[in-house]
Structure 1
Amino acid sequence: MILRSDQPLTLIGGGAVSDAGFDAALAHAPRIVAADGGARHALARGQMPEAVIGDMDSIRAGEISALPADRLHRIDEQDSTDFDKVLRNVETPLFLGLGFLGARLDHELAVLNTLVRQPHKRGVLIGERDIALLLPPALRLDLAPGTRVSLFPFGPASGTSDGLRWPIGGIGFSPDGRVGTSNIADGAVYLAMTTAKMLLMLPTDCLGAMLDGLAEAPRWDSL
């Protein structure tokens, strides 16, 4: 294990990172870990990552020279993404991920796949327009009426809901079958899932409500 923290961490990848997203993440998780070239986003904003993890194929020489050698952790294997390498090598109660959504579609899908394959790692990915996370066993969210609530299964999934315009109870979801995108909140929403296979996507302005809900939500590894 490269880094253990009892506080939330901001993880930064090499994709686009807005100033608003960066500030929002650090307001909740001021300690930074970079995935390979994501280090440039921290350094450009005057922040020093506590660790840089990855195969180091996209970090620039000038960025490497700006980092203490003991913070660079090279993992040469090519069977996983840099996001996966970071998650495997940090322990934190919660991570906020920047620079992992909204770039290349294949990279984005690989990142979402990693969220599902590591359900014991709790975190929220922050993009330009959306935030995404793997739904915990149960989650209560204080949402404004009319908020878009999208669900997408990465495997067979089912559950129950309160507060959605179109309830999900009794529906069998699957990635090659029924999905749950573009639902609408009628107010506060409660979601409960039977398996760790469902992704939840909300607008970025719901980050605070998401984090408040996660603070009270059970974890898959506690069941």
Structure 2
Amino acid sequence: MSLFTILLGGDLFPTPAVARRVAGSRVIAADAGMKHAAVLGIVPELWVGDFDSEPETLPDHLKAVQRQGFPREKDKTDGELAADIALSLGATSLLLVGAFGGTRSDHEFLHLTLAIRLAEKGIPVVLTSGTQEGFPLSGRSEFSYPNNTLFSVIAFSELSGLTVTGAKWPLHDVEVPFGSSWTISNETDGLMQVTVRGGRAMLIVHPQPAGQE
């Protein structure tokens, strides 16, 4: 598999877990996401965007990264364009770093729906800020986190056949109405397994801080 990391303009808390996920991947920065490259100690192979949010202070070696520019008036965000380019370069899975938080909640929501759309096309996607990790859900998936790690299943439609095991509050083959808060704020209790038979959903996990893992 060819993993590409896309650096987005949201929040980043550079935890060891983020560094492990990024290690060995090819990296593309999307406009303001270049600010995370210095924090992570990496040099993207490409910098994509209209550069209206270009970080004011960057080291020279990051300023020199090859750019692919786009007009400000366009029909895709810089992050979506970066993902498209990664796929054109052979990406078979994506890591979206800086996908949560930031000053643009509309971009954050777009990252969630973009990840679900790509996952439906067979492209595995992980989203992270360091303090939050996101995984589109389809079929049966396993996740390994320390016990008592907070997580939620966010439904983007009605869900059918939702089963959650390895959790403080397990669920078995339940139907979840769209807009329900039923699946918010659960906790891991062993190896977590999540199955969704129908509908669109995202698992949001809040990893424990370093030293508490």
Q: TM-score, normalised by structure 1?
A: 0.74
Mark the CA change 1:57 to 1:131 in structure 2 (over 3 Å): closer, same or farther: same
Q: Does the 8 Å CA contact 2:126/2:133 hold for their aligned counterparts?
A: yes
Which amino acid in structure 1 is aligned with residue 113 of structure 2?
Answer: N
For the residues of structure 2 that align with 1:123 and 1:157, how far apart are their CA atoms? 20
Structure 2 vs 1, CA of residues 165 and 139 (structure 1 numbering), >3 Å: closer, same or farther?
Answer: same
Asked whether 1:101 is paired with 2:96, we answer: no
Residue 79 of structure 1 is matched in structure 2 by 75
Q: Deviations over 1:18-53 (max 9, x none)?
A: 3336533333x4421111121232256653211222
Residue from 63, 66, 76 that aligns with 2:63: 66
Q: 1:192 corresponds to which letter in structure 2?
A: T
Provide the C-alpha distance between the structure 2 equivalents of 1:61 and 1:184, rounded to a whole number of angstroms.
Answer: 40
Unpaired stretches in structure 1, ≥5 consecutive residues = 1-5, 207-223
- Aligned CA RMSD, in angstroms, stands at 2.8
Identity of aligned residues (%): 23
Given that residues 126 and 204 in structure 1 are in contact (C-alpha distance below 8 angstroms), is that contact kept between their aligned partners in structure 2?
Answer: no
What is aligned with 2:49?
Answer: 54
Q: Does 2:186 correspond to 1:183? A: yes
Deviates more, 1:120-129 or 1:56-65: 56-65
Of Structure 1 and Structure 2, the greater strand share is in 2
Q: 1:204 to 1:185 in 2, by over 3 A?
A: closer
Q: How many angstroms apart in 2 are the aligned matches of 1:141 and 1:45?
A: 25
| Amino acid corresponding to residue 66 of structure 1 in structure 2 | K
* Match of residue 203 from structure 1: 206
Deviates more, 1:80-89 or 1:44-53: 44-53
Distance 2:199 2:20 in 1: 27
Indicate if the aligned counterparts of 2:14 and 2:130 stay in contact, CA closer than 8 A. Answer: no
* CA–CA distance in structure 2, aligned partners of residues 13 and 186 of structure 1: 32
Q: 1:45 to 1:172 in 2, by over 3 A?
A: closer
Cα deviation for residue 179 of structure 1 reads 4.2
Determine whether 1:32 maps to 2:27. yes
**Structure 2 Cα separation of the partners of residues 200 and 86 of structure 1:** 23
Q: Distance in 2 between the 1:62 and 1:142 partners?
A: 38
Where structure 2 has 5 or more consecutive residues not aligned to the other structure, the ranges are none
Number of residue pairs aligned between Structure 1 and Structure 2: 198
Supply the distance in 2 between the matched residues of 1:118 and 1:196 (Cα, whole angstroms): 15
Cα 1:163–1:23 change in 2 (3 A) is closer
What letter is aligned with 1:111?
H
Preserved CA contact (<8 Å) 2:95 2:127? yes
- The residue identity in structure 2 corresponding to 1:39 is M
- TM-score, normalised relative to structure 2: 0.77
1:144-203 Cα deviation digits (max 9, x unpaired)? 332222100112222223222333334322442354111122211211112461100112
Range 148-157 or range 197-206, more displaced: 197-206
Q: How do residues 82-161 of structure 1 correspond to structure 2 at under 5 angstroms?
A: 82-91=78-87, 92-104=91-103, 105-119=105-119, 120=121, 121-158=123-160, 159-161=162-164
Matched AA of 1:36? D
> Could you tell which deviates more after superposition, 187-196 or 58-67?
58-67
